[in-house]
Amino acid sequence: MRWVKGQTKILWLPKAASVTFTKGDLVQLTSGYVATATAQSEDHLGIILTAVTSGDSDFASTTKVPVEVPQSPMCELESDVTGTLLTTDIGNSFDLSTAGLVNQDGTTYGVVKCVGFISTAKGRFILNSQEALSDPAGI
């Protein structure tokens, strides 16, 4: 995932200890720490800008990581999609399959809304979460 439209800013926030992150994945805050989004998560913060692996020297620590956070509810992100995205899906809300993948067949949580069709496997989306607009670090 990546932001493609709208103003964003980068916040440096503490990550959950001993959790792997893939650069470009959607993240959330859990107990004050950045955590990977899941298929069931609903309140998302933004997109992590760095990978974290078990081989990193600070893997078991709560060091700060950069997260790109939208500054408006209309900031658009581009994402790959599981299922088949259609031009008629614009305006529909979908779930995630993983932290980096929109699930076109999932509508239980409706965490992203389709605002643009790129291909049957890629689209443009906005976050339905109001947490995406919060500033947890007070910056």
Q: What pLDDT tens digit does each residue of the chain (139 aa) get? A: 999 999 999 999 999 999 999 999 999 999 999 999 998 888 899 999 999 999 999 999 999 999 999 998 889 999 999 999 999 999 999 999 999 999 999 999 999 999 999 999 999 999 987 544 555 544 4
Asked if 11 and 65 sit in the same domain, the reply is yes
Asked if 38 and 50 sit in the same domain, the reply is yes
**CA atoms within 13 A of residue 132's CA, in its CB half-sphere:** 29
Q: What is the per-residue pLDDT for 139?
A: 45
Asked if 67 and 88 sit in the same domain, the reply is no
Asked if 10 and 62 sit in the same domain, the reply is yes
Asked if 91 and 119 sit in the same domain, the reply is yes
Tell me if 16 is assigned to some domain.
yes
Q: What is the per-residue pLDDT for 72?
A: 87
Judge contact between 44 and 70, C-beta under 8 A.
no
Asked if 65 and 120 sit in the same domain, the reply is no
Closest CA to 27 of 82, 96, 94: 96
> What domain count does the chain have?
2
Tell me if 84 is assigned to some domain.
yes
Distance CA 55, CA 50 (A): 14
Q: What is the per-residue pLDDT for 122?
A: 98
Interior CA angle at 92 toward 88 and 85, to 5°? 50
Asked if 9 and 66 sit in the same domain, the reply is yes
Please state the pTM of the whole predicted model.
Answer: 0.88
Tell me if 139 is assigned to some domain.
no
Asked if 66 and 14 sit in the same domain, the reply is yes
Tokens of 61: 């620590």
- Domain boundary among the residues 72, 89, 109 is at 72
Asked if 110 and 84 sit in the same domain, the reply is yes
Asked if 57 and 9 sit in the same domain, the reply is yes
Q: What is the per-residue pLDDT for 43?
A: 86
What range defines the domain where residue 81 resides? 76-130
